[in-house]
């Protein structure tokens, strides 16, 4: 029907900025960002990418280097966060922000913006973890980690605990969930925002159950 097509097109015309961070730890009050990457998409089109290492200003713990490959030497010449944040928010401008377990990434970005005296835009946010819980029948997968979802939806990029690879994988997962939402008869942008509404901001769940 023409009306339902127009409603569906609202989602397909919407621009999303899919973001992922690497950090020195899990608590945004104590840890620091070491890498920011984002993929800007509309429908099936990739409009651009943003990626940079960030000088955290503190030593990177050895277990983080083992996990991500990001070391003190690697970030030695990286820009400080106060220079990176304005560039990132400009890249993400006028888009809906997307992340897997969004309270973690958005929480770090909000906290960093306050520390850097940088105005944080009032982004609308979609959490692909919330979409997974809403759109996948219980028991479909053993867990809802990004890597598990990426493999399930046959993402061309495997998450590697590096920000750009993880952002690319999350963008693919987002597209898969939008298709599932349409298939379920829900086509409005408001449906996507409701299904993907992040929970109350807090520390990333992978403290206890890894999901990234």
pLDDT along the chain (212 residues), means of 10: 66 97 96 98 96 97 96 97 97 98 96 95 97 96 97 96 97 98 95 94 41 42
Q: What is the tally of structural domains in the chain?
A: 1
For the chain, list the strands marked E by DSSP.
15-23, 33-42, 45-53, 96-99, 125-127
Tell me, what's the pLDDT at 4? 58
Tell me whether residue 211 is in a domain: no
Tell me whether residue 106 is in a domain: yes
- Tell me if residue 100 is catalytic: no
Tell me whether residue 155 is in a domain: yes
Identify whether the C-beta of residue 21 lies closer than 8 Å to the C-beta of residue 35. Answer: yes
Tell me, what's the pLDDT at 8? 73
Tell me whether residue 202 is in a domain: no
Tell me whether residue 207 is in a domain: no
Range of the domain at 42: 13-196
pTM over 0.75: yes
Tell me, what's the pLDDT at 134? 97
Identify whether the C-beta of residue 150 lies closer than 8 Å to the C-beta of residue 169. Answer: yes
Question: Which residue among 161, 172, 182, 187 is the active-site one?
Answer: 161
Tell me whether residue 67 is in a domain: yes
Rounded to the nearest 10 degrees, the angle between the axes of helix 163-183 and helix 2-13 is: 170
């Amino acid at each position: 029907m023409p009306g339902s097509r127009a409603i569906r097109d609202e989602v397909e015309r919407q621009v999303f900025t899919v973001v992922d961070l690497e950090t020195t730890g899990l608590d945004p009050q104590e840890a620091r960002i070491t890498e920011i990457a984002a993929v800007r998409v509309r429908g099936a089109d990739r409009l651009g990418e943003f990626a940079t290492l960030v000088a955290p200003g503190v030593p990177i713990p050895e277990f983080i280097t083992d996990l991500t490959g990001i070391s003190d030497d690697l970030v030695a010449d990286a820009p400080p966060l106060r220079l990176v944040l304005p560039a990132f928010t400009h890249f993400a401008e006028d888009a809906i922000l997307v992340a897997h377990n969004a309270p973690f990434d958005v929480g770090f970005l909000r906290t960093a913006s306050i520390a850097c005296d940088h105005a944080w835009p009032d982004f609308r946010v979609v959490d692909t973890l919330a979409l997974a819980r809403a759109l996948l029948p219980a028991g479909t997968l053993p867990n809802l980690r990004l890597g598990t979802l990426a493999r399930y939806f046959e993402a061309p990029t495997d998450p590697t605990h590096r920000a750009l690879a993880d952002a690319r994988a999350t963008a693919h997962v987002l597209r898969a969930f939008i298709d599932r939402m349409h298939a379920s008869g829900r086509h409005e942008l408001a449906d996507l925002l409701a299904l993907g509404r992040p929970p109350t901001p807090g520390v990333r769940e992978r403290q206890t159950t890894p999901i990234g």
